Amino acid sequence: MALPALLIAALGELARRPAVLVATDFDGVLAPFVQDPMDARPLEGTIDDLAALAALPRTHAAVVSGRDIDVLTELTGLEDGSPVTRIGSHGAQSSHDDADDLGEEQQQLLERLTGDLHDVVEAHPGVRLEHKPAATVLHTRGQEEHVAEAAVRSALEVAQRHTGVKVLQGKNVVEMSVVTADKGTALKALQEKVGADAALYFGDDVTDEHAFEVMVEPDVSVKVGDGETAARFRVDSGEQVAEALRLLVRLRREATEG
């Protein structure tokens, strides 16, 4: 399916901006959803196009994800030293700089929270936990709807019992973090740090709405798939995201090197 004409026009305008940041979510955008999250792989050419953009003058690129940054590095193939920034754990981790270690109280809170969530897993066989440096994540993908809903309710009840826990709900996932971070604050912080006067962001999940909500023109926000959104534009699939990235590489190269 062809890209929407209004999005093509917006990409053309973005490509001519003095300095730009191109950022995208990973799962459901660059990489199709799969049963085992560790089997997810980016669509062909997408990572190369992000790297090509990051190599152009006054152009920056990033992959933003709820994944732990080490896992994101493995799945994207973006090793240390890559010009493409990796932002993990919904903004709590970044390859652009070193994240602060947890304080003693935060570490103790995380341990208590995780212990209680193990009880949730035992009570709802089939759901699983993912452990991150500053968060514990409940995954329900592949479970029957009534099992998943019951597990999520129990997890939210656990989070409410612990002061200082930030909850982020996405597709088949509930992340409970002991630090305050979201994709919107992470995107804006990176944009300010690299000095970009406009940003492009692709996202498909409810957690990406944090990014869409802080973006204003000339920023270009793009929702992938169905659902209510604050994004200016919408595409149907990751394949269209790949097409948009290919187009932007050409447009930005013409604008900066032509």
3-state DSSP assignment of residue 136: strand
Running DSSP on this structure, what letter comes out for residue 31?
Answer: B
First to last CA, the chain: 29
Q: How far apart are CA 174 and CA 161, in angstroms?
A: 16
The neighbouring-strand residues paired with 131 are 136
Q: Tokens standing for 219? A: 């920023």
Pairing of strands 135-139, 128-132: antiparallel
Q: How far apart are CA 205 and CA 101, in angstroms?
A: 28
Running DSSP on this structure, what letter comes out for residue 63?
Answer: E
182 is catalytic: no
**Residue 146: which residues within 8 A CB-CB, separation 6 or more?**
none
Using alpha carbons, select from 16, 21, 15 the residue that is nearest to residue 191.
21
Choice among 25, 116, 205, 208 that is catalytic: 25
**Residue 25: which residues within 8 A CB-CB, separation 6 or more?**
63, 64, 65, 183, 202, 203, 204, 205, 208, 224
Give the number of residues written for the chain: 258
Helices H / strands E in the chain, number of each: 8, 11
Pairing of strands 220-224, 198-203: parallel
Active site residues: 25
